[in-house]
Amino acid sequence: MADIDKGLYAAPVGVEEMAESEEAIEIEIEDPEKVTIGIGDNEIVIDPDRMDDDEFSENLAEELDEQYLAELSSDYSKISLMI
């Protein structure tokens, strides 16, 4: 028989139990362009017609608080060092 090494990482444990406790995700495709995703009370609508709006194209960084942007930058820097 061939000598097979064990994997470097253990298989996830308890994933099935976690999946059962999560809310169901509902996906509605009205046409190939427009998609609605519902998770509990939250709903995400992807509509290409609305993506042409000027508001959609705005620079988010210009709308956020400077302190919040600094926190995001710090968090991103920490994460990128882990990779």
What rounded mean pLDDT belongs to the chain?
81
The share of the chain scoring above pLDDT 90, in percent, equals: 12
Query: What's the average model confidence in pLDDT over 33-42?
Result: 87
What's the pLDDT score for residue 80?
Answer: 79
Q: Distance between alpha carbon 3 and the CA centroid of its chain, in Å? A: 40
Encode pLDDT of 64-73 as tens digits.
999 999 999 9
Q: Which pTM value belongs to this model?
A: 0.38
Q: DSSP states of 31-61 as a string?
A: SSS-EEEEETTEEEEE-TTGGGSTTTTS-HH
Q: Are the C-beta atoms of 26 and 37 separated by less than 8 Å?
A: yes
Burial of 37 (C-beta count, 10 Å sphere; 0-12/13-18/19+): middle
Residue 79 has pLDDT above 90, yes or no: no
